């Protein structure tokens, strides 16, 4: 807990990584949480469905939380909210822009948290949350209703930018509120917590509205069916695909549950305009000629159960890719997803379809500002202190260097880590004592820290397989009374007829003889000895470390 008169900014996620963004802002013992994001698992997190920030700190301080404020509707900023609310045991006030609030309500409904209220907040609106006055500042991003959050307490104002770019020609015609950012700078901004995603890219990002003409140009060259994949939450991109399809007289079909859900929300709130009669259901796709159809699909990141991934594997119920189809990836892989995306692309080619990515034609524009835009944010807001957020360690360092380049003193730039609080009071700023932070996993319906045991076992199973050794011994003398049974799965270069299996049985008998000679009778201890002896034998012969499960039965 922060001492009285000290502002404490504790990142629980989003630093040193891309994803699971969560920031705890605390003053006089009261807390406002900015964003509750998740991250999708990496390939080595076998069987894990979602990765969440470790919010044990919030669970312990649940009664001190005044509000949860959401910057925008992307999963890496709102996806953990249902899990957080369940763990807190109480529901603080929740605020977000209208689209964010609508998407979150739908998510909470899926988790059967229907009694939770999410309040809409508009640009320039402010509200009180304990010792904080909280204001939403309009920003441009790849989703409507994206905001920076300005939190003002007695000590000064902290600005958490959320995801942003300075797009001067956004699709919805509403750019970032540069004037308000400049006012915050003139009034004296205490701390800037700025998005670092594209701190490694020089120059200025492409405008989102530049993507539409490129899509139209590509569509015009396609004679067959077109499948466009993008993030389901990228409402502006969906609008541009619809516009390009309308120009060329093509119908549009939305494939993927989240795509249909988000487009319906977007249409209800007026963010998407689809001409009457243009949308066709997935089951009607086969009723239209290929040259009259555009499919907008989820799966741009190669997600295992997404619509495009299923198409690529030939098991989607409505869309069967074939010669003449063109698949357009209107997104770039999130760091860590490159392998899954490349595998999906390779399978699409195998089915005979063509693939176009942002590397071929600029059919994607990042929602995050490049270096010159990060500098502009720093120059507009003129913060006394800077803490780069939302990026891996490389990007955090590059953002720190940009801040130094525009004149922020090095001692006023804090390159933090998850769990390391920045504490600011009237005498200055410094890092405080580390708090618990890390990750927890969602595996099916279970939530918890299974890193140490289950994930290690899954990695071992995936790499080297498993041996199950069943030994039957005499209750009187502990010696073997029947040949041991050897069961193995996923072990390469071994089969039932292999001489290795016979030798392994002999090694098991020898281990049991040694234990009997030492008069070891406890089953647990017998199994431990058998495990170690079998593991040593298998490694000497196969140079592999499969999982060994010994089972000793007394008769």
pLDDT range class, residue 281, cuts 50, 70, 90: very high
**Which carries the bigger pLDDT value, residue 405 or residue 41?**
405
Which among 303, 228, 296 is positioned nearest to 261, based on CA atoms?
A: 296
Q: What mean pLDDT, rounded, does the chain reach?
A: 89
Please state, as a whole number, how many other Cβ atoms lie within 10 Å of the Cβ of residue 455: 19
- Which residue of the set 77, 364, 368, 390 is catalytic? 368
DSSP state of 359: T
199 has a pLDDT exceeding 60: yes
pLDDT at 445 (0 to 100): 45
68 has a pLDDT exceeding 60: yes
**Which carries the bigger pLDDT value, residue 515 or residue 294?**
294
The yes-or-no answer on residue 325 being catalytic is: no
What is the average pLDDT across 46-60?
A: 83
432-476 pLDDT, tens digit each: 999 998 888 776 544 554 454 455 555 566 566 788 888 888 877
229-247 pLDDT, tens digit each: 998 889 999 999 999 999 9
Q: Which of 273-287, 448-462, 464-478, 497-511 has the highest mean pLDDT?
A: 273-287
Rounded Cα distance, 8 and 27, in Å: 6
pLDDT at 497 (0 to 100): 55
pLDDT at 47 (0 to 100): 59
* 7-203+366-448 topology per CATH: Metallo-beta-lactamase; Chain A (3.60.15)
523 has a pLDDT exceeding 60: yes
123-150 pLDDT, tens digit each: 988 999 999 999 999 999 999 999 999 9
Quick one: which H or E segment has residue 402?
helix 393-405
pLDDT range class, residue 21, cuts 50, 70, 90: very high
Q: What is the CATH number of domain 465-554?
A: 3.10.20.580
29 has a pLDDT exceeding 80: yes
pTM for the whole structure: 0.79
pLDDT at 493 (0 to 100): 59
Sign (positive or negative) of CA dihedral 540, 541, 547, 553: negative
Report CA-CA distances (Å) from 99 to 41, 311, 331: 26, 30, 21
| Region at 382 (left for phi over 0; alpha for psi -120 to 50; beta for the rest) | left
290-322 pLDDT, tens digit each: 999 999 999 998 887 789 999 999 989 999 999
What is the average pLDDT across 242-262?
A: 94
- Which residue of the set 35, 195, 392, 443 is catalytic? 195
What is the average pLDDT across 201-222?
A: 95
Q: Above pLDDT 90, what percent of the chain?
A: 66
Q: Which of 219-228, 331-340, 351-360, 485-494 has the lowest mean pLDDT?
A: 485-494
345-390 pLDDT, tens digit each: 999 999 999 999 999 999 999 999 999 999 999 999 999 999 999 9
Question: What contacts 24+ positions apart, CB below 8 Å, involve 118-126?
Answer: 118/94, 119/93, 119/94, 119/95, 120/96, 121/95, 121/96, 121/97, 121/147, 122/97, 122/98, 123/97, 123/147, 123/177, 124/177, 124/180
The yes-or-no answer on residue 368 being catalytic is: yes
Q: Which option is the CATH number for 208-356: 3.90.1200.10, 3.40.50.720, 3.20.20.140, 3.40.50.10710?
A: 3.40.50.10710
Rounded Cα distance, 281 and 252, in Å: 9
pLDDT at 472 (0 to 100): 86
Q: Are 492 and 541 in contact (CB under 8 A)?
A: no
What is the average pLDDT across 259-271?
A: 93
The domains of the chain are located at 7-203+366-448, 208-356, 465-554
Quick one: which H or E segment has residue 366?
none
- Using alpha carbons only, what angle is made at residue 364 by residues 278 and 179, rounded to the nearest 5 degrees? 100
């Amino acid at each position: 807990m922060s001492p009285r008169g000290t502002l404490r900014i504790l990142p629980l996620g989003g630093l040193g990584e891309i994803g699971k963004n969560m920031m705890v802002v605390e003053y006089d013992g009261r807390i406002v949480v900015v964003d509750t994001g998740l991250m999708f698992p990496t390939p080595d997190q076998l069987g894990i469905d979602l990765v969440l920030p470790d919010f044990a700190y919030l669970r312990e301080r649940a009664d001190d939380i005044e509000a949860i404020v959401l910057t925008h509707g992307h999963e890496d900023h709102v996806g953990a909210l249902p899990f957080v609310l369940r763990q807190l045991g109480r529901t603080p006030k929740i605020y977000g822009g209208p689209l964010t609030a609508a998407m979150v309500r739908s998510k909470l409904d899926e988790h059967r948290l229907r009694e939770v209220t999410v309040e809409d907040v508009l640009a320039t609106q402010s509200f009180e949350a304990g010792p904080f006055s909280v204001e939403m500042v309009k920003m441009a991003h790849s989703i409507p209703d994206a905001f920076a959050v300005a939190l003002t307490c007695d000590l000064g104002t902290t600005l958490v930018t959320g995801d942003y770019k300075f797009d001067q020609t956004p699709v919805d015609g509403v750019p970032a509120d540069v004037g308000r950012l400049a006012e915050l700078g003139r009034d004296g901004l205490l701390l800037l917590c700025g998005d670092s995603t594209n701190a490694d890219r020089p120059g200025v990002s492409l405008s989102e509205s530049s993507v539409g003409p490129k899509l139209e140009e590509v569509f015009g060259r396609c004679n067959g069916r077109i499948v466009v994949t993008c993030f389901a939450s990228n409402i502006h991109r969906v609008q541009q695909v619809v516009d390009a399809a309308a120009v060329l007289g093509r119908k549009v079909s939305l494939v993927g549950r989240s795509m249909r859900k988000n487009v319906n929300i977007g249409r209800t709130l007026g963010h998407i305009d689809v001409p009457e009669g243009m949308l066709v259901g997935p089951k009607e796709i086969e009723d239209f000629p290929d040259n009259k159809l555009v499919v907008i699909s989820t799966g741009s990141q190669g997600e295992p159960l997404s619509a495009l991934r299923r198409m690529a594997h030939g098991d989607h119920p409505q869309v069967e890719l074939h010669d003449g189809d063109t698949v357009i990836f209107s997104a770039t892989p999130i760091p860590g997803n490159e392998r899954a995306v490349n595998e999906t692309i390779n399978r699409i080619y195998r089915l005979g379809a063509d693939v176009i990515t942002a590397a071929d034609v600029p059919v994607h524009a990042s929602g995050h500002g490049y270096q010159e835009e990060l500098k502009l944010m720093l120059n507009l807001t003129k913060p006394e202190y800077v803490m780069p957020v939302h990026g891996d360690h490389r990007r955090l360092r590059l953002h720190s260097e940009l801040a130094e380049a525009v004149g922020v003193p090095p001692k006023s730039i804090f390159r933090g880590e998850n769990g390391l609080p920045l504490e600011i009071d009237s005498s200055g700023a410094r890092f405080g004592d580390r708090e618990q932070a890390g990750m927890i996993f969602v595996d099916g319906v279970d939530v918890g820290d299974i890193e140490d045991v289950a994930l290690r076992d899954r990695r071992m199973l995936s790499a080297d397989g498993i041996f199950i050794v069943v030994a039957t011994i005499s209750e009187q003398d502990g010696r073997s009374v029947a040949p041991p049974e050897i069961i193995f799965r996923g072990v390469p270069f071994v089969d039932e007829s292999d001489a290795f299996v016979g030798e392994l049985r002999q090694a098991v008998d020898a281990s049991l003889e040694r234990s009997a000679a030492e008069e070891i009778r406890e089953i647990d201890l017998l199994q431990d000895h058998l495990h170690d002896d079998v593991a040593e034998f298998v490694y000497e012969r196969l140079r592999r470390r499969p999982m060994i499960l010994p089972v000793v039965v007394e008769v």
